[in-house]
Amino acid sequence: MSGGLLFALFTQVDAARVWAITRTASWRWLVVALALYLLMVLLSAWRWSLLLHAQHVVTRTAALVRSYLVATFLSNFLPSNIGGDVIRIRDTAAPAGSKTLAATVVLVDRGIGLLGLVFVAALGASLTAGASDTLGPGGPMLLWLAVAAGIGLTLPVLLWPQHVTRLLHPLKAIHQDWVEERLARLVDALAKFRQAPAALGLGLLGAVAVQAVLVGFYAAVAHALHVPIPTAHLAILVPLSFVVQMAPVSVNGFGVREATFGVYFTRLGLPLESALAVSLVGAVLVMMFSLSGAVAYLAARATD
């Protein structure tokens, strides 16, 4: 699907113009973008460590950063982000003493991250003049409703984790003893999160900070390419593009991300060539950065 979407997009643009925009990029601003992406990884690893510590799991921050780098590498070269999550679960299963607990922490981290993502999009839409023109009538309100729905679905699970067992009771038909043991670990993990509201609150703030830094990353890329898109609009576009990329229908979001950027840019009256340039240059920078994950993986293997 990635190749088909990119082919369709490039049939609608002047490829020479896309290259001309890219060729004039400011290297200083591209370096700023890479530094911001590193900051995003560090913030993400810190948020992950908060959730692990809430479960009384002792880990070294350096180990989490290395694991996150490896996960970033795999996420950028596999469909969706599942491969990266598998690495994170694998790397924390031993200190957690349970793959179920490690997976629960990663899932909660994902959920908090998604909530922070929608929050930043809703905030950007509320602060942006003309947001209704790009998102459609009621766009900002719909995003705030999504935030409220996310909180509304999460709170009952944390406040009354025992009800999760009832909800997932049909799974016992698969293998009762195995499922019961893992459900017990899941409920215990959720109960510990309920007892650590500060960790969850800081985790949510960390998720918002991560999304804000990602918006800054794309703002730096746009500035490097001399593309005049307001940062407030990027606060809407970037989170929404990440939501679209969650569907496992493309490799590293190629095609899907560019199409999302293209629709939004054209609604702002900006040329499609600028949209492709910002999206593709941003993707290339992320892939270049993610190679550090391959280096971290090989270094860890060498020391084992």
pLDDT digits (tens, 9 = 90+) for 59-86: 888 999 999 999 988 888 765 556 688 8
What does the pLDDT read at residue 208? 95
* Band of residue 42 on the pLDDT scale cut at 50, 70, 90: very high
What does the pLDDT read at residue 74? 84
What does the pLDDT read at residue 243? 83
What does the pLDDT read at residue 130? 60
Taking residues 112-127, report their average pLDDT: 88
175-206: b or e for each residue (b if 16 or more CB lie within 10 Å)? Answer: eeeebeebbebbbebbebbbebeebbebbbeb
pLDDT digits (tens, 9 = 90+) for 175-199: 666 677 778 788 888 888 888 899 9
What does the pLDDT read at residue 191? 86
3-class SS of residue 133: helix
pLDDT digits (tens, 9 = 90+) for 271-298: 999 999 999 999 999 999 999 988 888 8
| 113 in Cβ contact with 209 (< 8 Å) | no
